[in-house]
Amino acid sequence: MAIQPYQEDSNVSNPIKRIRWATQRVAGDSGQRKRHSIINRFHHRKAGSTEKKRESGSSTDGPHLDGIQEEDESPTESGDHEDTRRRIWFNVPLPDDAKDEDGHPKTQYARNKIRTAKYTPLSFIPKNLWFQFHNIANIYFLFVIILAFFSIFGASNPGLGSVPLIVILFVTAVKDAIEDWRRTVLDNELNNSPVHRLVDWNNVNSAEDNISLWRRIKKASTRGIIRAYKFIKIKTSKKHRTEKTYAERALDEPRHSIETRRNRQSMMSSRTSFHSVQSRTDDGIQMRPVPSPQPGQQQLPESNHLEAVDRPETSFSFENENLTVEPPDGQSTAPYSLPKKSKPDSATVPAKFYGNLMNPFKSVPNKARFKKDYWKSVQVGDFVRIYNEDQIPADVVILSTSDPDGACYVETKNLDGETNLKVRQALHSGRSIKHAKDCEQTEFEIETEPPHGNLYQFNGAARWTQRDPRNSAAPGTEMVEPISINNLLLRGCSLRNTEWVLGVVVFTGQESKIMLNAGMTPSKRSRIARELNWDVVYNFAILFCMCLVSGIINGVTWSQGNHSLDYFDYGSYGSSPALDGFITFWASIILFQNLVPISLYISLEIIKTCQAFFIYSDTFMYYEKVDYPCTPKSWNISDDLGQIEYIFSDKTGTLTQNVMEFKKCSVNGIPYGEAYTEAQAGMQRRQGIDIEAEADKAHKQIAMDRVKMLADLRRIHPNPYLHDDELTFIAPDFVNDLEGRAGNEQKAAAEQFMLALALCHTVITERTPGDPPRIEFKAQSPDEAALVATARDCGFTVLGRSNDGIILNVLGEEREYTVLNTLEFNSTRKRMSAIIRMPDGKIILFCKGADSIIYSRLKKGEQQQLRKTTADHLEMFAREGLRTLCVAQKEIEESEYQQWNKEHDLAAEAIVDREDKLEAVSDIIERDLTLIGGTAIEDRLQDGVPDTIALLADAGIKLWVLTGDKVETAINIGFSCNLLNNAMDLIVFKPQADTAEATEDELNKHLSTFGITGSNEELKAARKDHQPPEPTHAIVIDGDALKQALDEQVRQKFLLLCKQCKSVLCCRVSPAQKAAVVGMVKQGLDVMTLSIGDGANDVAMIQEADVGVGIAGEEGRQAVMSSDYAIGQFRFLQRLILVHGRWSYRRLAETIANFFYKNIVWTLALFWYQIYNDFDCSYLFDYTYILLVNLAFSSLPVIFMGILDQDVNDKVSLAVPQLYRRGIERKEWSQLKFWLYMGDGLYQSLICFFMPYLLFSPATFNTQSGLGVDDNKRIGVYTASATIVVMNVYILLNTYRWDWLMLLLVSISILLIWFWTGVYTAASSSDQFYKAAPQVYGQLSFWVLTLLTVSICLLPRFSIKSFQKIFLPLDVDIIREQIRQKKFKYLDKYEAYVPPGKLPSASSSDVSQPIKDTAGVQTPLEEDERPIYPPSVAATGTTHNPRSQTGSDGTDYTGHKTSLEMPRPSFDRPRPSFDRMRSSMDQIRPSYEASNDFTSAALLTRMESSHSEHLHSPRTPHGQSSLR
């Protein structure tokens, strides 16, 4: 085989023909789980403005779990009507049915300009007012203001009465404007981002954009405001900004062509282009710079446009006729390139003809140019060119790329949160379209389905008439090429590792998939906010009663006659007592308006905004590695963080780092690798072993072995890509076996094992030149990258990819392996395979996957001993908490492969059920495998996870782990992170059958252990019991059993059983099951829940919980985008909940109670005055007092109480997590507290009014000038001043933290009423209130009365608080006293976390008691429960494994292949790590493992190859198509 020399600058691997399951929706059987995160929003679809909305074709037959539906997101093709299809024409005249009567296109597509902002400069005021008056309190006060304008209701100054509402509306509007302005800025940056768009050609799909007068006005107003803002900003800033933004620079600077940037490297790498690999001809993309279009800019001169110069002849050019290929059967064709490398020992296969979208005989004007333009200018049907690192401006079908195979790499992080790169392919018929001239020469039509939000599916087709380039008179042939999601670039994605892509736009703006999926996150309201509505309703009821009493009494008084009002009043306003009472009722509404707190809502908004800012500013929750602070996404639920009782956590990436390190392996029955894992340390802790000493000993041994292994590796081969700090696989004996010291057989097995790791993958290589050079791998999962990196470290380095192969450096020798097919991993297959043509011409299939899958596909009757030995090794690896998978291979005959490949091509070309057919044809070839070995990868716990979990448990919070991993793996992680300990009885919940009856029997059996039956009375008691359960039991349940347990018939019993257990681990669960579990606990126990995860499969439970927390981790940002709070690490949860959550809850609860208190004090003081004037609604206070009491006199102290109050600091909050339990029990805010504060206000209002009344009733007081101060306005100053002082001092009394700021605010609020009275009464416009301040303040009685009133009002509250703190102290009172006693002084030397060593470690007692099998039968557990991790990619909740029904008789052993099955003399050599682990494992926890046959080795030993000869049906003989 001729090996093409590896090019030094070929740093990025090229794509190979492969099944791209990683980005496709795989349709499966009824047992398969469906994707959930974003897909559950796909029913909300949106078509073009004139396109009919398509009815959802999604299946709704999936199981419903507490409202979370597992749905099939695939749109139904057969359900589409003809008029819902989208047809786009390119250089083809529109057919008559696509035109209107004026000849314009009928279909008007959405603009590519998007706006997420709510407002425009013109619509802001009316629209914002419309939204604000959705608040019932604002409507109420607007109604009061309108009433005040009618003098009949007695309001003295209606204009002044509108001030509070105007202030509230203004402050809210400013806040909304700031928030919306930020969205507007982001929208403008995105809409004005640069893109290269084809101009000076006719896009027949869009008519001239006629801008209406209204749009012109809006655009002009927007530009004017922006210019004014920039002008003011420049004038007010000291230093003018001279640098331009990225978008401005990108539009102003000329972009170099590929020709002028021949040596440029992308950010990721510099990949070899088609030209450098093939002919090295200078056939770049010739372009000239175009100045950026500015608003109002005139047409640029012709010379400034980008030009496509004459193209040299290339293999993609029509001018080069030597490279044309005559298709079979006499079909005419456009030329296409031939491979230039010959393949050894391969049969000559006729080249497939794909056609060409260009018409070689079309005459074009050659005026089209690619010009830099804005995103907002892009239209459906446009040609666009996208460069490396650019974002995709719209949904684009790929015509061609810089890669000769038509591949490009995209990052979809902005779309679905995943950071791994995905491969997309250009249309075969469009790969010769490279220049503007080529775009002009195309003639084709694209037909697609209407817009929908399914990110994983797209169905379309390109249609054109294929012309014979050698015969212009020959009739054309109609051709069609299907278009799938693999040919589509979605808006929001970023192009990576690809120089350029040329494509056509099919969906724009609001019709793009990212916009159809935007804004669907459900809004959440905090529990206090929900209960607050009832309290406001209560206040309205009290107000109604007060007004009703006033109206009735006043009407009755007028009807009786012979009252003082008959002598002093001019007469009634009404003509009858009933009308008088009616008028008095509405006048009372104005008088008592302060009872309904208008400023409460805006005050709470201010408080919650400040709390969110403090959370964001907490540097102790800043994760420097990814530069990510704790980011609140929902600002209005911070108080819910202080009431969390249940936390539901994902495992991989949430509790663990999701950074995989290859640690151990088993090759040909020999275990390799030294490691000391956290799970191993947890097991040794349970045995009473000193884990610190043991860890130190193990780490020293591993360090010595590392040095030896590095020396041995460099002795075999001076690998320039081996870096000491990156080596994770420590196995000196493996290097010895690789050298052949254990014999040629083991050497061959080790080499073949490493070859399998180096060849069976889909990673992208990145070379960084240097001394030494570096090669890194970008993979679709961290597991796969770890496998390939280990092969690199051992001398089997993946250098890159050629056009159709992988280039390896094998121990210094460069080889090329041709990749014929790659059958990629998905959650249904649980395996991936690569079909490789070896350098000697043989065809080998390498397969890696879950042990149960691989074992069921091994060749029947062979390798029995090797299977058992490898299964034992994998069992031990899994017990150490390692992720395991198996590796196998199969040699394929040439004829067998050719026949299979025909079926594979047929499946790949299918439009309907393509994924199902591909899976079926792949299943045929992945049989009769030969086992090579197994791998073990460690996913380490994140820093601080065990301590955080222990801390949360001390706070009374229950943590449930919901994971896609297997049972034993989750158990080991549970022990290592303090969820489980050796003193617990572990309940492995596994019913005897998959029926509701069997599940109920199993539940009854376990419920009887706790002496309960699962009745409704027990559920009611459980709702009131918030105490954490005793740490005696833990329950583990898998997805299949959970499905039965969530059934409505037994759900309550399952919930009560879980409540009795200290820890709950749900394994092998889907996203819908995660959400269903959260909903079951939240609704069943009426508790506050929090879900935390890092992947797209966690979105469902994040949105279901009261509070959702996303971790910005390795799996992307989908969880972050859907969460309420985003953090960088799990350990930050302790500060978020125990510090900020507790503070926010306590502050808000106290603030709301004090708000209602001060309103009731003020309003009832006015009400008592009405007793003495027949309830005629006379004003005791001046009207300005009524308006300003909530706005100025009492607002600041209560607001800052909610912002800054603090009972203990953050360090003490973490050192004493038990303080959090008051939030779990909801003792800081309750209806009882609300009514107690209302009662306190009632008492104080009586004192505030009747103290002045008793002062003036026996005598009067005069000033020095003889003027009396006994009129109602001046008595009102006595009452109002004392009431304001009482309210503010009362708030101060309820505040824990008395610092200078709080004392200053209280003092200012008190002094403000005296200041206002002095200023306002100094003006003659105050009428009867004129000079009231000097007259009242000059009286000694005023100051004495104020002092007495304050004292008498606050004495009961002070006395009760003193008694409570002395004789009935709360936990926080005791802690505060201890703080004053300096008992927490030791915390000063720590920054913010709990001091190390203060948390109790896991129990080191003896092994737990065995769980007795009450059924009396030892039932083998299903394969889902065996402690083997899923393969190559991290386990996701979408994975569902149908229970294996296969067994093995174990009697048909016929012998082993010589190469892998002969006796292995090296097996008896000492393997210290494995031997230590085995001896340790044999002592630990034999109960449920032994009695229930829990080990994977036992099951795998009995498993026969179910796929060796048939798979649920007789095997289709080769030569017959299995695809019907």
Main-chain dihedrals φ then ψ at residue 198, nearest 5 degrees: -75, 125
Specify whether the CB–CB gap between 779 and 758 falls below 8 A. no
Judged by DSSP in three states, 765 sits in strand
Q: Which of 115, 110, 183, 190 is nearest to 391 (CA)?
A: 190
Distance between CA atoms of residues 789 and 957, nearest Å: 40
Distance between CA atoms of residues 1235 and 286, nearest Å: 78
Where helices occur in 1381-1485 by DSSP H, the ranges are 1458-1461, 1472-1483
Residue 201 structure tokens: 């050609």
Q: Which residues share a beta bridge with 667?
A: 670, 933
Specify whether the CB–CB gap between 311 and 435 falls below 8 A. yes
Distance between CA atoms of residues 388 and 386, nearest Å: 7
Q: Going edge to edge, which strands form the sheet with 488-489?
A: 369-374, 194-199, 383-387, 500-507, 395-401, 488-489
Residue 426 structure tokens: 């250009």
Residues sharing a CB contact under 8 Å with residue 180, sequence separation 6 or more, in sequence order = 117, 118, 119, 124
Distance between CA atoms of residues 1145 and 531, nearest Å: 14
Q: Which residues share a beta bridge with 848?
A: 832, 887
In whole angstroms, how far apart are CA 1340 and each of 274, 1270, 1281, 1349? 98, 14, 14, 14
**CA within 13 Å, CB half, 122:** 11
Q: Which of 1158, 1157, 1286 is nearest to 1234 (CA)?
A: 1157
Q: Which of 273, 267, 260, 401 is nearest to 9 (CA)?
A: 273
Buried b (16+ CB within 10 A) or exposed e, 388-408: bebbbbbbbbbbbbbbbbbbb
Judged by DSSP in three states, 1394 sits in coil
Sign of CA dihedral 32, 33, 38, 44: positive
Sign of CA dihedral 990, 994, 996, 997: negative
- Please state whether the peptide bond connecting residue 772 to the residue before it is cis, i.e. omega within 30 degrees of 0: yes
- Calculate Rg over the CA atoms of the chain: 38
Triad 1394, 610, 140: Cα angle to 5°? 140
Residue 752 structure tokens: 């073949």
Q: Which of 594, 596, 591 is nearest to 1178 (CA)?
A: 591
**Residue of 650, 793, 1040, 1106 marked active site:** 650
Distance between CA atoms of residues 798 and 816, nearest Å: 10
Specify whether the CB–CB gap between 695 and 684 falls below 8 A. no
Question: Is 650 among the residues known to form the active site?
Answer: yes
**CA within 13 Å, CB half, 621:** 26
Please give the sequence-ordered ranges of beta strands (E in DSSP) within 560-649, or none if there are none: 631-632, 644-649
Distance between CA atoms of residues 532 and 522, nearest Å: 21
Indicate the helix (H) or strand (E) that contains 255.
none
Q: How many helices (H) and strands (E) are present in the chain, helices listed first?
A: 48, 36
Any idea which residues carry the catalytic annotation?
650
